[in-house]
Amino acid sequence: MSQDRLPPLPESQWSAAQRETADEMIRGPRRGVIEPFIPLLRSPELCTHAQRMGEYLRYRSAIGLRLSELAILVTARHWSQEVEWAIHAPIALREGVSEAIIHAIGLNQTPPFTQADEQLVYDFAVESLVAKGVSDETWAKAITHLGEHGAVDLMGIVGYYTLLSVVMNASRTPAPAGAKMPLPQL
């Protein structure tokens, strides 16, 4: 990846609105202004709304952390987004997504699922990203297993991490140094 187009701004250069947005993130569960929000901080209002949505989707979604992390990885792989992959692959592993599944997603291969809920989330996310929609069969399974609330949150996760992927890919935000599980190059 070439040079970061929107690198971190020195705190001494933050506007009052940027300071307020950053302080909210620092006080929240992220405890700092991390990679996805470094380029977004240039638009403090957008950054505030995005980080609030992300806080809900990442930490409190109706589908739980394991399935959320799986959907994030599918989205990161689709967009070849190194930052999101580097951050979320270790979290997915910690939350119970198997290393074999993470590895297969990273290589853009069909994962060896043993749990129906993981297969469902994978299918839903892949269809959303590749087919730009969700089949009736996958939709029915999502409603049955996740409920409407869960299906909406799953759509939100895929859409939100697409937003972050587009922002970081366009601004060329680098992955954190020393990532334990870097995104495989295809």
Q: Is position 179 within any domain?
A: no
Going by pLDDT thresholds of 50, 70 and 90, the confidence category of residue 30 is confident
pLDDT digits (tens, 9 = 90+) for 140-179: 999 999 999 999 999 999 999 999 999 999 999 999 888 8
Whether 92 and 155 map to the same domain: the answer is yes
pTM, 2 dp? 0.95
pLDDT at 1 over 80: no
The candidate with the shortest Cα–Cα distance to 181, out of 110, 112, 84, is: 84
Whether 76 and 164 map to the same domain: the answer is yes
pLDDT of residue 2: 78
Which domain, by its residues, includes 100? 64-171
Q: Is position 184 within any domain?
A: no
97 Cβ contact list (under 8 Å, min separation 6) = 66, 69, 70, 73, 118
User: What is the three-class DSSP state of 6?
Assistant: coil
Count of domains observed in the chain: 2
Instruction: List Cα–Cα distances, 114 to 66, 118, 154, in angstroms.
Output: 14, 8, 20
pLDDT digits (tens, 9 = 90+) for 60-94: 999 999 999 999 999 999 999 999 999 999 999 99
Whether 38 and 74 map to the same domain: the answer is no
